[in-house]
Structure 1
Amino acid sequence: MTSEAFDVVVVGAGAAGMMAAAEAGRRGRRVLVIDHARAPGEKIRISGGGRCNFTNTGTGVANFLGENPRFAASALGRFTAADFVARVDKAGIGWHEKTLGQLFCDDSAKQIVRMLTDGMRDAGVTLRLNTGVAAVARDGDGFALELADGGRVKTASLVVASGGKSIPKMGATGWGYEIARQFGLRVTETRPALVPLTFEAGLLEQTTPLAGVALEASVSAGKTRFDEAMLFTHRGLSGPAVLQISSYWREGEAITVRMAPGVDVLGRLKAAKGENGGKAQVATALGAVVPRRLADWLCAREGVQGKLAEVGDKGLARLDGAVNGWTVKPVGSEGYRTAEVTLGGVATEALDQTTMAAKGVPGLYFIGEVVDITGWLGGYNFQWAWSSGWAAGQVC
């Protein structure tokens, strides 16, 4: 069987893989990118509601999880959010900043995909889609790849940019972890991250009337807290604050939800009671602090209903605790099906932080989500993809 030969083969036409391929191609390397998907950058295309939250201006090591988040410092420091924004600007892509430093395309996430594919084309990179990898083996100083379609490819450098297990309906698998283990690299425990949390049936039945209610909240697990939007769903809790805390929450633990953070709910209710003879309904007064549907639910749950004048301070204090001290124990999450990223991956101790190269396996690189570096919600994971891909692309 004849074999094609390349200097670099990148497995995965996602954010990290396309970045690494273009950088290597610009150095004059003959590069092949392989992906089993029908189109490149599928997770980019669907991200940010179709507008791609492509980076965050506040990106730093503190925004990442893993056994050793400091590992990310080198790549993040050498190819920054500003560096990627400069490329977006050069491509003529309009963008805007939402909250907390999150940058989005004005138009479509497809513009970012096009920028990356154009960059690969201009660098002479070969892109081969609908192509799976059946096996990888050492071949002299390089690697030999057996393709699912029966083809064979030899390469000096192999860059694994296959992502994690998140969103399997888009083709996500644990293939990258298998390659790491094949070559003796440790893989840390993996789990869904940035994912909605689910309730046990009894509690879910109670909260079902709240499906669709959204509010600004503070959600904490242990010592970690996020102050962002929260959404009640037909399965439990979602929204940015919950997705963020899901990366820190573990089974069997409770989370605490403050649904009016920074508000003296008891003080507001007492003040309302002192107005107009306390004729206002308790739910009406509470509805000035939280969404009315939530206020009605809380008043019914706590048994504090009727006119304010008829409710004692203990009842009002109970509502205060229900609003800003709701402790609930999720039973799980929606899993990889809806998880934005995978927590865990190829252990950073096995990689060189400057080049993303596998220690002890010359020519092998791991970049992006497949590595045990996971960012918060808000563009951080894309920046890790750009930065780690750029770092590998300088040397592979």
Structure 2
Amino acid sequence: MPTRPRVAWPWAGLATVVFLGVTAGVQMSDRGLQSILSPAIRETFGVGDAVIGALHGIAGILIASALAMPLARLADRHSRKTILLGLIAAWTALTLLGALAPNFPLFFVGRAAAGITEFAMIPIVYSLIPDLVGERWRVGANLGFAALMATGASAGFYLGGDLLHWVAGLGGIGWLADHDPWRKAMLVLALAGLPLLLAGSFTRDPPRHVVTDSAPQVASLLAFVRANLWQVLLFIGAAGGVAVAVQAVTPMAAMALVRRFSADLEAIGHTLGMLILVGNMASLLIAWGVDRALRSRFGARGRPAIMGVATAIAIPCAGLLAVATSVSVALALVGAFLLATCVANALLPTMLQDLAPVELRARAFAGYSFVIAAFCALGPVLSGGISQFLLADDLLSAMSFAAVPVMGVTLVCTFLWWSRS
């Protein structure tokens, strides 16, 4: 019986993917940390829930993703390694400067600027992965990169309270004595960019794969969208509904739980961090296994089906948050919601890689990120606005009211996607 030829592992490429995942994870931990620090930030600057929602949504997502587009265009034409190293350096400097802002407008601008570097990095990495590891390892590398980002995001929640407690004990040491504990926590996180910048200089910068088929190359992202308009609209609609819901819940969850149940912030951060980590890791395995099981029977139709079913499970979890009677019940609902929405989102990068031509990958991912960011920005803005102006600061109920309706959009889009594929 003939044996299969042994396929060499692309170790250098995989090592670069791991580095990029760790780097993106550190940057994502910034958002989790900011969520834990939100009550202190709110108190320092004397702002309301609506403004904190705008901080998480408009500054942290929408502005950042809009300005990431030209950076992605550069990455399609110039050295991606050089641009990534520049983004790491900029994130470090901007996070340091944001932590030292004397008033909220400057803090808002600083956080938006730091967010630009985070959003610009992700589409560039997804354009790099196929060139680093090849087609055979592409899906696994995509999921591995996503897992490392998820680990970083969960670490921001899990360790945020511990970091805040630790830096509070440094109050009498030198120049740190002049800053609030939450500022010190952000400064400590920013310093993690220095070793990442050093390590990044040793990573690979692979050549772009040459298109070998006879089809004409697509030079314009707009032309690509026009040629695939129906599929792009369903893709954006399905992903957008879940994006609003996730951002309506996740960034505001710690503050909402502390407020309703008078829970300990550090304990809430630990639990949310574990829920985010477990939910993301488990979702990657679930999505990978279900996708493999459905692919032979349904082909491309299986992926929108996975997204639709997962969203249908997430809807009651979000809805019941409004009537949660204890912190444990609320955390269980948040955990189930996060797992279901992570499953819904797990295969989106692979689907976009399949759809976008090689020469447009970074721009396609940046364009997708910007459109989705417009939806993401609505999440915390809706939660904060509903809480402050309609529900007398009942933030947990506001999260529920913001998340449930928009997931109906995802159900409609995935059904149409399924029926017309």
Structure (1 or 2) with the larger CA radius of gyration = 1
Q: Structure 1 length as normaliser, TM-score?
A: 0.23
Select the structure that is richer in strand.
1
Q: Structure 2 length as normaliser, TM-score?
A: 0.22
